[in-house]
Amino acid sequence: MESSLVLEDGTVVRGASFGAPVKAFGELVFNTNMTGYTEALTDPSYRGQILLMTYPLIGNYGVDPAWMESDEIQVTGFVVREACAAPSHARSQKAVGPFLDEYGVPGLQGADTRDLTIRIRSRGTMKAALVPGGEDLRAAAKEVRTMPYPDRRNLVAEVSCRKPVRYPGAGKRTLVVVDCGVKRNILREAQRFADVVRVPWDTPADDILALKPSGVIVSNGPGDPAHPDLARTTVPAVRELADRVPLLGICLGHQIIALAFGAKTFKLKFGHRGGNQPVKDLRTGRVHITSQNHGFAVDADSLDPSEFEVTHLNLNDRTVEGIVHRTRPVFSVQYHPEAHPGPRDNEYIFREFVAQLRES
């Protein structure tokens, strides 16, 4: 069955449909990973987006639900050069096409993904639609042009848990994870050091402190960190927590911590999504290869130098990748130290955080 990708600049790319034969809208973004498509498809940070993989063959090792980073596929659509229909892996339970179909998500294969990536890098991320064969492409193009960007919605509220969830872990400490769209592997990493309580994105600071945490992790997640709903709830709660308990921010959590102390964020032209982003630790001079998935960044000039030190920089575009408070046990990174998918050499971030935890 034929399918088409319609972009807001008028571009139409035709290919073959796989996954669910439905129409879907979102923001078209690209990911440069060679592997990890199951983790990427289920990463809550992709909520509202159509994901394009730059690597030409996707699905060759199949899908195991144990690799999922959330309870469902989070992307609205999937675009690849070639989707493998006959995967080979000891743990594979299904091919990527049936996996998409199970969650009602459409895919398109046969697209020139490299050309599309160049187009996105030149123009920036664009609104787009996946349209099954036989439907009106002109009507879809008009809807794409007039619809708002997905980050105008409160995407965090769509992916966060609805009530606190407890996870048993190692040791006598308790870590609270503010769920702004947390990946499962962040929870697993936290469980290596403490019992974990996952709380909804808008939980007040007093309710978090009532859990007597040794520390708080503000998680990754989708959308605009300066969304008005977050500005009214999560941001002031994090500012209050910063005076009471050690904090670690990851990705969106990094941006929320910066906002809590009066800094600003901005939308990147095409974001950082992949497992090969070079980040320099300014304290040691060491360069780490990092896994990333974000479309916004912290404005370096808006950080108060009397309060925060910039600890990490992206070597591709010099954006802020890490900050630490000068007097409080508060620090954050823009990248994903928990990997999945991606390099594992940044797991030290969790050990640094645990070293700052207070005794319960």
Predicted local distance difference test score (pLDDT) of residue 77: 98
- Tokens 């600003």 correspond to what residue? 264
Q: What is the dihedral of CA 263, 266, 268, 271, to 10 degrees?
A: 60
Is 340 noted as a catalytic residue in this protein?
Answer: no
Q: Active site includes 336?
A: yes
360: pLDDT strictly greater than 50: no
pLDDT band of residue 171 (cuts 50, 70, 90) is confident
List strand residue ranges (DSSP E) for 104-230, in order: 106-109, 126-132, 165-167, 174-179, 195-200, 215-218
Q: List, for residues 34-64, the tens digit of each pLDDT value.
A: 999 999 999 999 999 999 999 999 999 999 9
Our measurement of the distance from residue 125's CA atom to the centroid of its chain's CA atoms, rounded to an integer in Å, reads 15
Report the C-alpha gap between 127 and 147 in whole angstroms: 8
CA distances, 88 to each of 92, 135, 137, 312 (Å): 7, 35, 36, 39
Q: Where in the chain are the domains?
A: 2-150, 155-355
The residue annotated as part of the active site, out of 8, 69, 321, 338, is 338
Calpha distance 277→335 (Å, rounded): 9
CATH match for 155-355 among 3.40.50.720, 3.40.190.80, 3.40.50.1970, 3.40.50.880: 3.40.50.880
What is the predicted pLDDT for the residue at 86? 97
Query: How many whole angstroms separate alpha carbon 151 and alpha carbon 47?
Result: 9
With 60 as the cut, is the pLDDT of residue 359 above it? no
Active site residue 338: yes
Place of tokens 């605009």: 224
CATH 3.50.30.20 fits 2-150, yes or no: yes
The tens digit of pLDDT for each residue in 183-229 reads: 999 999 999 999 999 999 999 999 999 999 999 999 999 999 999 99
- The residue annotated as part of the active site, out of 39, 251, 294, 340, is 251
pLDDT in tens, 20-42: 999 999 999 999 999 999 999 99
Please report, for residues 86, 130, 235, 356, the alpha-carbon distance to residue 331 in angstroms, rounded to integers and kept in the order given: 45, 40, 15, 10
Average of per-residue pLDDT across 143-154: 97
Instruction: Check residue 25 and give its pLDDT.
Output: 98
CB neighbour list of residue 207: distance below 8 Å, 6 or more residues apart: 199
pLDDT of 342: 73
Strands (E), the chain: 2-7, 12-19, 24-31, 49-53, 57-58, 77-80, 82-83, 106-109, 126-132, 165-167, 174-179, 195-200, 215-218, 247-250, 265-281, 287-298, 308-314, 320-325, 330-333
Q: pLDDT exceeding 70 applies to what percent of the chain? A: 99
Residue 186: name the closest of 297, 63, 55, 346 by CA: 346
Q: Determine the pLDDT at residue 358.
A: 61
